[in-house]
Every structure is written in C-alpha cells, then in structure tokens.
C-alpha cells in the first residue's frame, strides 16, 4: 500500500470548512483548477466523493461529515507540533535528566541543584552518573543529557560547551596531619607522601607538570582513579591529596586545605551537551539551573 500524501490533510480540512472549491482555492491561494485537481486526488485517496453537487452548490457526503471534525483536530495538532515552543510549563513538566559528572560535582553542587529543580519543576528527576572517561560518546548516543568537565581533545567537535567556573588545585590533609599547622613550604610539601590521581594509573597531570617545571618530584605512595578516593585515603592517614578546590568542596568537609606552595595552571570546568538538545526548552532551562548554582557557590 502506498503512503498517502499528508499534505492533502490541510487541503481536505479547508475544503470541508469552506464547502466550496472556489472558497478553498482563495483561502489556500490556489487557482480553482488546482483546487479541483486536489479534490480529485482526495476522492481517489479516500474512495469517497466527499463533496457532491446540490443545485448550485456542494454538500458533504456522510463520510465527509464524519471526517470534518477529525481532520480539523489532526491539522490543529500538526500545526501546534511544528510551532516553536515559546513557554515551558515547569509545574507540569515530567522528565528525567541524566548528568555525567566528575567526582565531587554532585556532592558539592548537587544539593543546591536539586533544590533549584524541585522548587521550579517538582516533576523533574535528576540522575547523576560517574564520568570514567573523557570521550563524548554518551552525549552523542543520547545516554547522557548534560556533562561537566574540562574541555579537552577527547571531546567530539560537535559538542557544545559553556564555561561554568574557574578552579585551582589545593592540598588537602586530615586535621591532625603536620601540614595542618604552620606555613606549607615547598620543602614541607615535598617531604610528605602523596596520592596521585589518574584514570590511566600514570603519574601525569597538572601536579606532575608543575613540579617538573621546578625540576623536583613528589613521593607518590599510591595512585588512584579519582578525587573522591584520594580524599578518602588522605582523611584516613597521613597522605597528602592535591585536588581541584571548588569541584571537591563537598568532599573536603572536616579536612584541612591549604594553598599549594608552587604555581599550577588553573582549569576551567565547563557544561557540555549535544547540539540536538540545544533548542529544547526543558534542556535549556536545566542548563540555566546548573549555571545559576555554580555561580552562587563560592
């Protein structure tokens, strides 16, 4: 069976409303002959005359009367579906958004983000998933709605990005650690044992690069895959963790943080999303919530 031409729905709707080939032609800005050809196609498609002559005018057949309200409703719904959405009814919005974030983001910014979302759209649910790699495949495949992280070469070229905040690295130790008292000099920092953070298990990254420029090395006792694990180990013993300050604020509660005794390159944490969601009103609203929460956090 061939697929019917859906453009004929608009023509049929106008014909049934006008009850006149000439009137429908004027309304659709067509010639009477073009409208007559369209009526012929509609008769062939539906298998019904639809409009038949009665005196000097046309009257609808029983099938046309049956179709009039139904077709009108379909055309209205189609037109509404193709119109831009100017307003978003947050009170009635029901949707679950998946956010892929690095360790510490949910703990630090999650409570305020949840409160912001619940206050405006109680039907919206958030799902935080860990970020084990920097590739943008989950965004591209639709498994993730939003992502946070440092923009790098692994990010797909089509991914949209907007800066959320600048961050710097700080040293973190337990409250009873010797470095919790007095000035932390480079010698004192290097004299302790450290926790390296690397997804690949290699001692690389901002800390290693900064110390390499000074031609010094730290004693890395253990390397872990994330900042949460590094802080948990530092909290339990005398190891030193070096982590992003703002990103891990929620994980460093009850610990002592100090400025590193050497310069490190600041990092920019960005919000990432796929272009197919860029114009979606609900997605745009959520992006605004994330930006607001990150701007409000010191």
Q: Which part of the chain has CATH 3.40.190.10?
A: 90-167+268-296, 169-265
Q: What is the pLDDT of residues 127-146, one digit of tens each?
A: 999 887 777 888 888 889 99
**Residues 229-246 pLDDT 10s:** 999 999 999 999 999 999
Start-end ranges of CATH 1.10.10.10 in the chain? 7-81
Q: What is the pLDDT of residue 84?
A: 65
Q: How far is C-alpha 253 from the geometric centre of its chain's CA atoms?
A: 29
Give CA separation, 104 vs 125, 131, 169, 235, 248, in Å.
20, 11, 13, 15, 5
The reported pLDDT for the residue numbered 170 is 96
The answer to whether the pTM exceeds 0.75 is no
Superfamily (CATH H level) for 169-265: Periplasmic binding protein-like II (3.40.190.10)
- Residue 273's pLDDT is 93
**CATH 3.40.190.10 for domain 90-167+268-296:** yes
Sign of the dihedral defined by the CA atoms of residues 286, 292, 296, 298, in that order: positive
Return all residues near 105 (Cβ < 8 A) that are at least 6 apart: 148, 247
CA angle 149–154–159, rounded 5-degree value: 70
Domain 7-81, CATH among 1.10.10.10, 3.30.2010.10, 3.30.428.10, 1.20.1260.10: 1.10.10.10
- Other Cβ atoms less than 10 A from the Cβ of 18: the count is 18
Burial grade of 240 (CB within 10 A; 0-12, 13-18, 19 or more)? buried
pLDDT at residue 27 in the model: 87
- pLDDT less than 50: residues of the chain: none
Q: If DSSP codes are grouped into helix, strand and coil, which group holds residue 251?
A: coil
């Amino acid at each position: 069976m061939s697929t019917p031409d859906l453009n004929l729905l608009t023509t049929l709707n106008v014909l049934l409303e006008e009850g006149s080939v000439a009137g429908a032609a004027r309304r659709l800005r067509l010639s009477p002959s073009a409208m007559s050809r369209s009526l012929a196609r509609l008769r062939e498609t539906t298998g019904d005359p639809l409009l038949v002559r009665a005196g000097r005018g046309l009257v609808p057949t029983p099938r046309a009367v049956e179709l009039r309200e139904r077709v009108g409703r379909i055309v209205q719904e189609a037109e509404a579906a193709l119109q831009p959405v100017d307003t978003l009814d947050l009170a009635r919005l029901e949707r679950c958004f998946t956010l892929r974030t690095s360790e510490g983001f949910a703990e630090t910014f999650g409570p305020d983000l949840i409160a912001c979302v619940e206050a405006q759209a109680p039907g919206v649910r958030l799902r935080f998933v860990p970020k084990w790699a920097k590739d943008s495949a989950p965004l591209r495949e639709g498994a993730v709605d939003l992502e946070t992280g440092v923009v790098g070469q692994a990010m797909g070229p089509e991914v949209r990005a907007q800066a959320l905040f600048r961050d710097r690295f700080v040293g973190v130790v337990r409250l009873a650690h010797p470095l919790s008292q007095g000035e932390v000099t480079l010698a004192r920092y290097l004299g302790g044992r450290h926790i390296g953070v690397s997804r690949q298990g290699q001692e690389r990254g901002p800390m290693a690069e900064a110390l390499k420029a000074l031609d010094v090395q730290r004693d890395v006792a253990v390397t872990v895959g994330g900042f949460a694990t590094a802080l948990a180990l530092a909290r339990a013993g005398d190891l030193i963790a070096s982590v992003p300050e703002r990103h891990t604020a929620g994980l460093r509660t009850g610990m002592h943080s100090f400025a590193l005794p050497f310069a490190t390159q600041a990092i920019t944490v960005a919000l990432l999303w796929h272009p197919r969601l860029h114009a979606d009103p609900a997605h745009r609203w959520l992006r605004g919530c994330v930006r607001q929460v990150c701007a409000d956090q010191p």
